[in-house]
Structure 1
């Protein structure tokens, strides 16, 4: 049957927030102008309203700042209508549902025993698998060939892994633990497992004769060392090489093994080679042929951090130009457009702004603060980026859990839940919008940098509350909660936790504990450019 042409005039939202459904701060809505339309009427109604509030505008734009205080926290329905010069409705209306969510309550919480939570989590992370060991798993930590598991039994959901993203998370977490608790009985095992993960990354890479020669794998499974062929093919995540390079430098500093340093340099040189003229990189490629499978990623900060760390260690400026090009692209790109997406190996190629995330936003915040003396505007930009994260991704109040779970998190395994989680916690991305320990830990690191740079008490209070929230989401067996912890049941609603995300939360909590202790003891603390 011949497809009918769609010539219907309709109001279509534009702008970075067109797929957003959570707002702490009043949003401004924009839409495509329609020539025949002389007046737009923007209508809002809450669940308790019997009649909508209506506002007229001649422009395809509506700023909610002047009316935001009229709405209670919770669900808001919006309907935008268009009228011609005869006041006749002449186009298809646009409907959107979104939520007004709480802001930080500014309460000063009492710090919990974070050290105890960290040790309990280390015991969980370093434990053996609850499944029979496959041949390809012999002698390896259980996270080498497993991402998601029933954390209670340690039974694996699958043998599917994302090495560039999560093997590095274990390296960062275990080295931090062994450094912070050097006399603890688990410290030796933590250091040992960190090295095993590092050696795995060194020994298991894309082939040397590939276009993206020796780049780290992004998606592998069941002992097979080649990128998983998915439909559509997801290929190799290019900028993940920056993260792996940073992990190699941490291993080099710890073990003084030159092979780690050489691989970090190799990856940095390769990233310079593949950097585009505008300073960016493609998101995903066919590592063998070099074909670009997915164009856009906002992540240029991982390579930039690797460049900066190498130049610091070498006391040179070898990579300065490539670093500055990457940062300039980000300042003119995602910093202004808010298009922070193209980050994760297990997401599909989808239209712009539908799956915003905050991993690299947080890394950019910390970079700008670290290099704040290079540009007087950097600190203000960092604070603005943080507020964007707080607006879109931080769950400040348990009642706001009603606004989460609308994505396809966990490949649809988790689903929409009526969660009541400790707060504040941080959502991962629009398509996996759950309060996760790992992303809460990542933001916690940004709060360290922000407080250290500004000395504003709000960042300290937020940090204490956030660290407490990670601990309040800890399960009896030591695991932090990947999909949120429900205080009514005193457990998660789903215990299919990701060990790599636990490792990220672990690192964030350790660094916060170190920083807060340094504040109390008036001792020096330096966050630097390392990550989780």
Structure 2
């Protein structure tokens, strides 16, 4: 379920950030003005409507509708009933797919029942759309200041992580303790987080050599358990181990995005140890990607590791693969991967950038058909890539800003909304501000919030818009305020699931805090 990005963010300039946020009412006005612009509105027969499964909006949405029966509408009546103030807000338009911009600024935040009616010249009325939706609060500071510094939060978190039995046991056994940490069943992701977590710990506590030993043993385990030479997916790290949780369902599959995280992690370890076996293992992973790349430029998202055949006819949005291969090219001079990077990037430009099908890719969720389970991760990662390459194409910043708006619109809560989550729990116990993960886990998650911090930082660097800076600080402060006294950063930022802890998510939070503490 939870995800993290390893060492793939470019440098964000110092002195541009401070931990204290601005109490600037101009941000409220700017946010409200921007919310009147719909995000990639659908056009019947031309541009798909991506938001049919969406429930919450900050930006004025537009929707597809049904054919109006036997009548020919000459106009459409839009009526939105607000459950907050018990009032109707209406307008008419010649189009049945107009955004709600004419009334959006008037509507209070809260639950809304929308109807769109087609009206013929004779006055006949036909219902073409009805939908419950939630208008969420836009960004409007002030938000709570952090209870202590990012650096203190980072160090407290590192101490907590190192002290966990499921981490320390690696030193003695050289293998994962599934009893102590059941999520080791998601081998590639969670074991890689042990490596990155211990590398980060060793950076700040260099006198403790055991952390580096743990990192090496975890890496050696991933390499030893990788798919054997000569197999269809040779050298790929195993996505699953054992039969716990989703491993019992998808155990024979490889989630094709995950070996790239392993490869990036092994490069991090190589940088620290200079042990060439880790670099060699990363190159082996890259070579297997090249061998399995489809002519279109991408890969299937789930592949049977025994047969090498797709386990589902759903394609991967290959951001993490592109980022991993780019590190090999740009940092280590492995130019042989450049052509594959370019075709993969072009696939994204030709597909989700056009369709806005930013379907989530998670190891504990099966492959989904279009628009059924959108997530911010893939859109956010690609937005950052576009910003990194803004000088190559003048349209990159415009596209990136639209992706950033999509992520915020669908997955950030600046205030606690009045909705039921996907587990039927009321959101009044959520920690906010925060970011939600995916439609199938529409809950505030620390790692999701972290990615939004990185994304807003990158956007501020590229555009100079201080609104992005303010958003990054508000979310980073929220993570600090969610941290427990013992240093633990909860994965689920609400009490009901406080014991459901993913260590890889916390490692991502620690990396975010490190970034923010140095700015």
Tell me the TM-score normalized by structure 2.
0.82
CA RMSD of aligned residues (A): 3.2
- 1:360 corresponds to 2:378: yes
Verify: 1:95 aligned to 2:130, yes or no.
yes
CA distance 1:297–1:121, shift in 2 (3 Å): farther
Report how far residue 508 of structure 1 moved.
1.4
**Corresponding residue for 1:526?**
none
Alignment-derived partner of residue 501 in structure 1: 505
Q: Secondary structure at the match of 2:443?
A: strand
Structure number with greater CO (CA < 8 Å, separation at least 6) is: 2
Question: Where do 1:23-422 residues align within 5 Å?
Answer: 23-33=57-67, 36-39=70-73, 40-48=76-84, 52-82=88-118, 87-88=123-124, 94-107=129-142, 112-129=148-165, 139-140=173-174, 145=178, 156=181, 158=182, 161-179=185-203, 181-183=204-206, 188-221=209-242, 228-230=247-249, 235-398=253-416, 400=417, 402-403=418-419, 405-406=421-422, 408=423, 415-422=424-431
1:17 and 2:51 correspond: yes
The reply to whether residue 424 of structure 1 matches residue 433 of structure 2 is yes
Secondary structure at the residue paired with 1:428? Answer: strand
Distance 1:141 1:463 in 2: 37
Counterpart contact for 1:404–1:433, Cα < 8 Å:
no
> 1:211·1:290 contact (CA, 8 Å) conserved in 2?
yes
Change (3 A) 1:68 1:100: same
CA distance in 1, matches of 2:340, 2:499: 42
TM-fit CA distance, 1:109: 6.6
Alpha-carbon separation, structure 2, partners of 1:74 and 1:329: 38
**SS state of the match for residue 61, structure 1?**
coil
Cα offset, 1:494, TM superposition: 2.9
Query: Mind listing any 5+ residue stretches in structure 1 that lack a counterpart?
Result: 1-10, 147-154, 409-414, 487-491, 517-532
- How many Å apart are 1:200 and its aligned residue? 1.8
Structure 2 SS opposite 1:28? coil
Report the alpha carbon displacement of residue 215 of structure 1 after superposing the two structures with TM.
1.6
Q: Deviations over 1:379-434 (max 9, x none)?
A: 33222221211111111113x2x23622x5xxxxxx51343444321111111011
Partner SS for 2:370: coil
Counterpart of 1:461 in structure 2 is 470
What displacement does 1:85 show?
6.2
Q: 1:29, CA displacement in angstroms?
A: 1.4
Quote the Cα distance in structure 2 between the aligned partners of 1:466 and 1:280.
Answer: 33
2: distance between equivalents of 1:306 and 1:50? Answer: 52
How far, CA to CA, are the matches of 1:447 and 1:106 in structure 2?
16
CA contact (8 A) 2:434 2:475 kept: yes
Structure 2: segments with no counterpart, 5+ residues: 1-43
Secondary structure, in 3 states, of the residue corresponding to 2:442? strand
SS in 2 for 1:80: strand
Shift in Å, 1:327:
1.0
Deviation at 1:465, TM superposition (A): 1.5
Q: Is 2:297–2:343's contact at 8 Å kept on the other side of the alignment?
A: yes
* Number of residues of Structure 1 aligned to a counterpart in Structure 2: 471
Distance in 2 separating the partners of 1:271 and 1:77: 47
